[in-house]
Amino acid sequence: MTRYAADPSAIKALIHPERVHRDVYTDPDIFRLEMKHLFANTWIYVGHASQIPNPGDYLTTDIGNQPVLASRHSDGSVHVLYNRCPHKGTKIASEACGNTGKFFRCPYHAWSFKTNGALLAIPFKKGYDGTGLEDTEAVKGLAPVGAAHVYRDFIFARLAPSGVDFETFFGESLSSIDNMIDRSPEGKLVLEGAPLRYMHPCNWKMLVENQTDTCHPMVAHESSAGTAISVWEREQAKGGKKPMAVEVYAPFMSPYDFFEKMGLRVWPNGHGHTGVTTSIHADYSAIPGYFDKMVAAYGEERARAILGESRHNTCYFPNIMVKGPIQTLRVFKPVAADRTLVESYTFRLVGAPDTLFERTLMYNRLINAPTSIVGHDDLEMYERAQLGLHADGLEWVNIQRLYEPGEAEDVTEIAGGTSERQMRNQFHAWTKYMTMSMTPEGVAFQEAAQ
C-alpha cells in the first residue's frame, strides 16, 4: 500500500459531489483499502436463513476478501464466523452449503468446534500441557465476525467489532426487503434454485451503479430488448398471446420519459432504489390464482398495497441489489480492482403459485446469466469502461445528471428517475465508510456510534 494508505484526505479528494476520480475503479491500493475498511465497516449480505434451516447446516461466502461461514447452532441461532481453523488457517468448510453434523471438524488435524464456533476438542491434547495454549487466540475456536444480524431471514454481518448498528445502517431501506417477503401469502421466502454466477472483468462499483442507471437500457439493450420486440412483432402474426419472455425483455426499451417518471429514492448510508411510482416490472400479466391467495392472506386493501409497489432495483450499500417484484437478489462480489463475481439468487414466495417462481427463474436466466443477451450488453459496457479509464486524457467519471448544487447528503429524498443521485449517494457513503476507521477520530466516531 503506497499512495492511499490510511490517508483519509487522499481518499476524500477522489470523490466530488458530481464526479469521481477513476482511481476508485482502477487502483489496486484503493481496492485493498476497500477490503480493509469499506467491507469491514458496512453490513454485508451473507445469505438467507432458508439455506440453513436445520442445526448443523452452514453456508460459506466471502465478505470482501474475507472467507466466512454462517452456521445454524443447536439452539437455532445463526452464527457468522471466519472460515479459518485457529490452528493452521485451513478453511473449515469448503462447500457453498452443507451440513456438518453436531460439530465442525478441521480436515487437517481434527481440531473440532461447536456450531457456534467454540472449541470442542483437540486430539492428543496433552502435547499442549504447560505450553500456554490456553492464553492464545487459538483456544477460542472459530472467530466470530464483529457483528451479525438476521432480519426476516436475511443474514447480514459486519466484520468490524464496533461501528454503525444494523437498524441505523439500513433504516427505512428495509422496506424493499419487506415488500419482497410480503409478496408471499405466508410472509415467507425460500431461497431456491442454483445461483447464476457470472464473472465480470470490471470493478464491482460499476455493476452497482448500473442498477440505478436508467439512461442506459434503451441504448445498451437495443440489441437484445429491441431485437426481442422486433422479432416478436413479426412472429405474433402467427397468433398466440405475448410470451412471458417478451414481457420481460420489452420494457427495457421504454423511453427516457418513462424512466424519468418512475422516480428514484435515496436513503442514508448509500442505499436507494429506482421505481417509486411504477417500473418496468409493473405490467406483467397476472398469474392466475395469486391475487386471490394474497387477498385471503392480507385482505384486499393490504394485498393491493403490497402488489402495488413495483420497485425496480433496490441497492443496499455496498454490494447487493434486490428486486422485490421479481424475487431476485444479486451480490456483486469484489475479486480485484478489475474483477467482480456476480451471483444472482432466486426466491420462491411460499404459498404462491409455481408460475411466479417460473417467472423469477426465467427473469434470472434472461437477464442475469452468463448466457444472457442482456448481460452481454452490460458486460461489454463495463469492460470497455474499465479499459477506457486508463486513458490519461481525462481522469474523472461524471455522475452529474440532475445534480443540484448543495444537494443534501445522507438523507431520504425522492428524485427524478433518470437522476444519478443514487450514484452520488453511494459515493458519499463510500467516503464515509472507507475513512471512518483510518484515523483516531474516525475510530472514536465508530465507537461512539456503538
Residue from 228, 262, 253, 264 nearest 424 by CA? 264
Nearer residue to another protein within complex by CB, 52 or 202? 202
Residue from 52, 110, 106, 62 nearest 82 by CA? 62
Judged by CB under 8 A, the number of residues near another protein is 46
**284 near another protein, rule: CB under 8 A:** no
Residues in 381-410 that interact with another protein by CB under 8 A: 381, 384
Nearer residue to another protein within complex by CB, 3 or 242? 242
Residue type, 275: G
Contact assessment for residue 11 and residue 431, using Cβ atoms and an 8 Å cutoff = yes
**256 near another protein, rule: CB under 8 A:** no
Contact assessment for residue 373 and residue 223, using Cβ atoms and an 8 Å cutoff = yes
The residues, ordered by sequence, that sit 6+ positions from 422 with a Cβ below 8 Å of its Cβ are 212, 264, 266, 272, 273, 274, 315
Site string for another protein, 161-200 (x = CB under 8 A): --------------------------------xxxxxxxx
CA distances from 283 to 249, 278, 323 (A): 12, 9, 15
Rounded Cα distance between 367 and 45, Å, is 22
**77 near another protein, rule: CB under 8 A:** no
Residue type, 405: P
**371 near another protein, rule: CB under 8 A:** yes
Exactly one of 82, 156, 357, 363 binds another protein (CB under 8 A); that residue is: 357
Distance in Å, CB of 220 to another protein, minimum: 7
Q: Read off φ and ψ for residue 340, nearest 5 degrees.
A: -140, 130
Q: Read off φ and ψ for residue 61, nearest 5 degrees.
A: -160, -175
How distant is the alpha carbon of residue 217 from its chain centre?
Answer: 21
**98 near another protein, rule: CB under 8 A:** no
Distance in Å, CB of 417 to another protein, minimum: 23
Exactly one of 278, 364, 418, 435 binds another protein (CB under 8 A); that residue is: 364
Exactly one of 180, 361, 399, 429 binds another protein (CB under 8 A); that residue is: 361
Exactly one of 341, 350, 402, 443 binds another protein (CB under 8 A); that residue is: 341
**206 near another protein, rule: CB under 8 A:** no
Residues in 133-162 that interact with another protein by CB under 8 A: none
> 279-307 in b/e burial notation, b at 16+ Cβ within 10 A?
bbbbebeebeebeebbbebbeeeebeebb
Residues in 221-250 that interact with another protein by CB under 8 A: 222-224, 226-228, 230-232, 235, 243, 245-246, 249
Distance in Å, CB of 419 to another protein, minimum: 25
Nearer residue to another protein within complex by CB, 136 or 285? 285
**111 near another protein, rule: CB under 8 A:** no
**353 near another protein, rule: CB under 8 A:** no
Mapped onto helix, strand or coil, the DSSP state of residue 348 is: strand
**375 near another protein, rule: CB under 8 A:** yes
Rounded Cα distance between 249 and 260, Å, is 19
Query: Would you state the cell numbers that stand for residue 357, as one nine-digit string?
Result: 417462481
By the criterion CB under 8 A, which residues form the site for another protein?
A: 193-201, 220, 222-224, 226-228, 230-232, 235, 243, 245-246, 249, 341-343, 346, 354, 357-358, 361-362, 364-365, 369-371, 373, 375-377, 379-381, 384
